[in-house]
């Protein structure tokens, strides 16, 4: 059972456009929602993260929107660039002491055409 559902599986965007990736979760105990970016042949790296006490967090061209009542969160990439082409993973983590296991979405492969 996939606890974090991510969509779409793949996305093609023109340079300068907005890329939007969505995630939905089931467990109301989740309290940490990161997005990771992975380039081919590399390990994922944290891009941006949010906690449920805010509805939006922005870092440069990257924004997380969080809807607690709907149990959904999304990543928006403004002014998408070819260098943004990568696989993006959403994840969620429950408040369960020191060992914070991340529950991962299946990933979205983003291609930004020049």
Partner 1 sequence: SQTIHQWPATLVQPVGSPLSLECTVEGTSNPNLYWYRQAAGRGLQLLFYSVGIGQISSEVPQNLSASRPQDRQFILSSKKLLLSDSGFYLCAWSVGSNTEAFFGQGTRLTVV
- Closest separation between CB of residue 80 and partner 1, Å? 21
Q: Candidates 12-20, 54-62, 72-80, 89-97 — which segment interacts with partner 1 by CB under 8 A?
A: 89-97
Please name every residue paired with 14 in a beta bridge, in sequence order, or none if there are none: 113
Q: Is 99 in the site for partner 1 (CB under 8 A)?
A: yes
Restricting to residues 6-65, which ones interact with partner 1 according to CB under 8 A? 32, 34, 41-46, 49
Specify whether the backbone of 40 is left (phi greater than 0), alpha (psi in -120 to 50) or beta: beta
- Closest separation between CB of residue 52 and partner 1, Å? 13
User: Which DSSP helix (H) or strand (E) runs through 61?
Assistant: none
Beta-sheet pairing, 108-113 with 10-14 = parallel
Q: Is 88 in the site for partner 1 (CB under 8 A)?
A: no
- How many residues at the interface with partner 1, by CB under 8 A? 22
For residue 65, count CB atoms less than 10 angstroms from its CB and return exposed for 0-12, middle for 13-18, buried for 19 or more: middle
**Contact set with partner 1 (CB under 8 A):** 32, 34, 41-46, 49, 89, 93, 97-102, 104-107, 109
């Amino acid at each position: 059972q996939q606890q974090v559902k991510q969509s779409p599986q793949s996305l093609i965007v023109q340079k300068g456009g907005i890329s939007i990736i969505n995630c939905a979760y089931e467990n109301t105990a989740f309290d940490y929602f990161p997005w990771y970016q992975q380039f081919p042949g590399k390990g994922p790296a944290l891009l941006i993260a949010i906690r449920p006490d805010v509805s939006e967090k922005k870092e440069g061209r990257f924004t997380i929107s969080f809807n607690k009542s709907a149990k959904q969160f999304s990543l928006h990439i403004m002014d998408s660039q070819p260098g943004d082409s990568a696989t993006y993973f959403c994840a969620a983590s429950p408040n369960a002491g020191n060992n914070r296991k991340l529950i991962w979405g299946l990933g979205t492969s983003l291609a930004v055409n020049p």
